[in-house]
Amino acid sequence: MTSQNPSPAPVTSFQSGPLHGVVTVPGDKSISHRALILGGLAAGETRISGLLEGEDVLCTAEAMRALGVDITRSDDGIWHVFGKGVGALSEPDKVLNMGNSGTAARLLMGLVANCPFTTFFQGDASLHSRPMGRISLPLGEMGANVTSRSEGRFPLAVSGRELMPIDYELPVASAQVKSAIMLAALDTPGISRITEPRPSRDHTENMLRHFGAEVTVTVQEDESRVIELAGQQELTAADIIVPGDPSSSAFLAVAAAITEGSDVTLNNIGLNPLRDGLFECLKEMGADIDVTNLRQEAGEKVGDIRIRSAPLTGIEVPPERAPSMIDEYPVLFVAAAFAKGKTVMRGIRELRVKESDRLSTMAEGLKACGVSLQEEEDGLIIEGDGSAPTGGATVATKLDHRIAMAFLTLGLGTEKPVTVDDGNVMETSFPGFVSLMKELGSDIRDGDSA
């Protein structure tokens, strides 16, 4: 893990022939973060297989070490986390550097809110621009003190203390906010209740149960969900196999769908029902997708996905699907650019506060590549004619890994090459993305297209 961003390294994607192969993508980023954090709170040794070893997750590992958790990696790729128990973390002797990871930042803010010391946080330029007030507010209501820049932005300090349980209604569905509150509530003397207006990814609930905690989830008539967690429960170490990341898999799935003659199988992919929105959209657009070998691992649904190329048709994506695929919208925009007809995507204002303003950044880049679209405050409408967009642009990634991978995926099918200004950013979530794509038969090269 580097402490500062290396010099930008342009990468260019050229129109490719059919993609073929059977591959395993890196481990799920969301589950990897939580495995390290909850493993650090569980009494005993937790062994983690398939952990994503991208920069974001390595920031979490380093932060947990700074909080006194013994974490090692053996030569066979297994990570060993020797948990200290709930309420037993140590005061770090340095500032915790979250790099580019909003997930690490928000979850760890909740984790230390109940600790009797002050923890200082920083990150890269992108993370420093992202609002953290949505975390600071509920933590403050529980009794923690968060000192930050305006809008709760980094760098900041969390002064922990013994917290009180909370009954909190999320203004918008957010797994990160929900998880931060749950982590803070783990050592409170009472029951905390969190109401989310729409279901968001539930990896924290699933993993808490895997470690032996009691978590109750009640679905209301209006489809909102109430999560109840009793504090001061003990967690017991339990081994975890991290499935392949569906968000990373999305780029390969779309690449296979839009590249004529392709046939790609993705093994061991997490298919949590609250994470599979992208695959549902692709099926509705006409993509040829089969799921086999379904199974359960550590409370998560897992399976193998086969994708073959097929003509795509525009659809209207239900706004309520957004929480299940918020990180996959950039590559869904790519699929829409190759589809025939309008693809309407609304209810995705959350994209404006990701690593970049993903709505505007994607819209700007797609327009430069000849895609017809209309940007709205909370959505995007893309209209294609079923043929390949022109391409030929150099796109600014703005330190956003998903922007980079989305446009490299686009370039596999455009008439002219597509260049991203910095391929280094992909290491935060998908180390080896370019190498894996090349194994499947894509034409992606270092440097610009000149």
Active site residues: 327
Q: Amino acid letter at 134?
A: R
Read off the tokens for 20: 């073929």
Task: Please say whether the beta carbons of 286 and 310 come within 8 A.
Answer: yes
Q: Which helix (H) or strand (E) holds 384?
A: strand 379-385
- Three-class DSSP category at 317: strand
Q: How far is CA 290 from the centre of its chain?
A: 23
- Distances in whole angstroms, Cα of residue 389 to Cα of each of 352, 365, 400, 417: 25, 12, 23, 11
> Using CA atoms, how far apart are residues 284 and 24, in angstroms rounded to an integer?
25
Strand order through the sheet with 300-308: 20-24, 263-270, 300-308, 288-297
**Is-cis flag, bond preceding 155, omega within 30?**
yes
Is the Cβ–Cβ distance between 303 and 291 less than 8 Å?
A: yes
In angstroms, the CA 418 to CA 54 distance is 24
State which amino acid sits at residue 103.
Answer: T
Burial class (CB in 10 A: 0-12, 13-18, 19+), 292: exposed
Instruction: Give yes or no for a contact between 81 and 40, defined as CB atoms under 8 angstroms apart.
Output: yes
Whether the CB-CB separation of 420 and 408 falls below 8 Å is answered with: yes
For residue 354, what are its two tokens?
Answer: 């990701």
Identify residue 300 by its one-letter amino acid code.
E
- Whole-angstrom CA distances from 316 to 113, 172, 219, 272, 421 are 41, 21, 26, 22, 31
Q: Which residue type does 163 have?
A: L
Q: And the tokens for 41? A: 């709170």
CA angle 375, 380, 386 (to 5 degrees): 110
Neighbours of 378 (CB within 10 A): 15
In the numeric block, the tokens 């430069």 are attached to: 368
Closest C-alpha to 254, from 291, 327, 293, 308 = 308
